[in-house]
Amino acid sequence: MNMAASYSASTAGPLAGVRVLDLTSVVMGPFATQILAQLGAEVIKVETPEGDNMRHVGPMNHAGMGPIFLHANAGKRSIVLDLKHPQGLEAALKMAEGCDVFISNVRPQALTRLGLDYEAVRQRNLRIVHVSCCGFDQDGPDAARPAYDDLIQGATGVPWLMGEYGSPEPAYVPTTLADRVTGLHTVYAVTAALYARSQSGEGQAVVVPMFEAMAQFILGDHMAGLTFQPPIGKPGYARLLTPHRKPYLTSDGMLCVLIYNDKHWKSFFEVIGESEGLARDPRFNTHSARAAHIDEVYAEVARIIRTRTTAQWRELLDAVDVPNMPMNSPEDLLVNPQLRATGFVSDTVHPTEGPMHTLAHPTKWSATPPARSFSPAPRLGEHTRQLLEEAGYSPERIHTLIEQGACRTDT
């Protein structure tokens, strides 16, 4: 199947008609532009001759097509440009002339050295929304520092929180939390800037910093007593930090249960009966009392949950509307009835990588729904010729650029 020949820009979704020049790599930026593509934008992925680093993280069927790359780059087209080559840079600027959004996670100082900072791109397109995803707000002393998910998790207190929670030693959360939180900030920044342009007719520069985005995320829960001056307590939301806040052991497995408000507790007491005496325990009477004694409260729940099987508890708790869910693994999620029924998880066939599971956009829209299927993640440079032709380059000129090393194709 010739994917380049079969590609057509999506006409579905709220961002249909928006064209994005995407210079991002790894996770944060590609996750953001993946969502933009799922919402209907046409995303042009500009890669170095070596390709996005995530292409090379396995397991994989073929070199350069790792699973994280496949999931984060579906719905995009790939062009390989050497931006340090004058003609490669010129090709990127020429393509920016026909785009609505220019987005990168290259450090701003390096982007300026390349000649792709906001002022340089704006000279070619006054309406461009120029989005710089970077480690730190550029007005602070750390502006030029490199940033990766692990570093930003550490710098914003995630390992400290894990220690407070009971981890034997400080640890990172085992998912690219900072990358994906910042990626979501990037999506709304792009869409809000496009709305502002629709009102003013002018583009603008937007900076999305990882450190500040994650600091907002963490401090929103855990400033606690440090909110006030002088402080009236320690940092940390106690309910989130108690070591008993975890899936509960039943008599034959595990179950996630959250008995949260007064109604839930009343229903839970009805299920377990008066023999436990907890309904009369002042520690359990009010939300404030439970919060003040959260360690003891959750420890009691853990003790009680061990007395029945998972299936028995699910039947009892569902009957009285006490929130509970099974503890799933990634394998469980791929066959989960809810995710299958909604079409969030589906099975597709990649033209080179074969059968694979794919994930849809999780939101639903009444008037401009995103497409439910997308072109598969591209091979490195798969669309170089096609995209240069769309930018106005002749076949002869493209051949010359390839010969000069300014660009490359997958063939």
Active site amino acids: 179
Largest CA distance in the chain: 86
- Nearest in space to 38 (alpha carbons), one of 6, 68, 10, 67: 10
DSSP classification of residue 375: P
User: Could you please report the per-residue DSSP string of 171-214?
Assistant: ---SS-HHHHHHHHHHHHHHHHHHHHHHHHS--EEEEEEHHHHH
Q: How far apart are CA 387 and CA 169, in angstroms?
A: 50
Which amino acid, residue 222?
H
Residue with tokens 């397109």: 125
- Contacts with 297 (C-beta within 8 Å, 6 or more apart), sequence order: 283, 284, 290
Distance, C-alpha 106 to centroid of its chain: 18
Q: What are phi and psi of 193, to 5 degrees?
A: -65, -35
Neighbour-count burial for 266-280, b at 16+ CB within 10 Å, e otherwise = ebbbeebeeebebee
Distance, C-alpha 348 to centroid of its chain: 22
